[in-house]
Structure formats: structure tokens, C-alpha cells
Amino acid sequence: MAQAEAALAVYRLIPVRFVDVDLVEALRIADATGIYAYDAYILACSRGTGYPVMSLDRGLLAVAESLAIDIVDVPR
């Protein structure tokens, strides 16, 4: 339980900023690439904010790269 509490303490330090995401753009990305809408939403958010995508989902990262969206590679 101590590890979970420590993880939550670190998680609470992560700043959260709410942004508007172009839903039409997300649906276009989903349609053009064949990915789920919620994955496309992440990519549309990245495009809109200019922040890179960080994920363990290699498929999502591949689509991001194909769309010239910057990624942060997370080594396994």
C-alpha cells in the first residue's frame, strides 16, 4: 500500500491544463488512419497544443509519426 500512496503523491504533482480540442480534426484523423476516436483525440490535442505525444502504445506512436506529430519515446 505504501507504493500506491507514493505513486499517488507523485501523480498529484503533475500539472493539469484543460484545453479545447478540435473534435472534427480528431474524427478526420480517426477516419484517415483507422484508429479509435479516443486515440485520434490525443493526436488532435497534441497538434493543437504543439506538445509531443507520450505513450506506451507503439501503434499510436507510429500514427503520430506518420502525421508528423512529435513523440516522446518511452523505453521499455
Query: Does the residue 46 lie in any domain?
Result: yes
Three-class HEC string of 29-44: HHHHHCCCHHHHHHHH
- What pLDDT score does 33 carry? 97
Query: Does the residue 9 lie in any domain?
Result: no
Higher pLDDT, 56 or 29: 29
Cβ–Cβ under 8 Å, residues 19 and 48: yes
Domain that holds residue 53: 19-72
Query: Does the residue 14 lie in any domain?
Result: no
Query: Does the residue 39 lie in any domain?
Result: yes
Q: How many domains does the chain have?
A: 1
Query: Does the residue 51 lie in any domain?
Result: yes
- pLDDT, tens digit (0-9, with 9 covering 90-100), for 33-74: 999 999 999 999 999 999 999 998 999 999 999 999 999 987
C-alpha cell at 21: 480540442
Q: What's the pTM value of the predicted model, to 2 decimals? A: 0.80
Query: Does the residue 6 lie in any domain?
Result: no
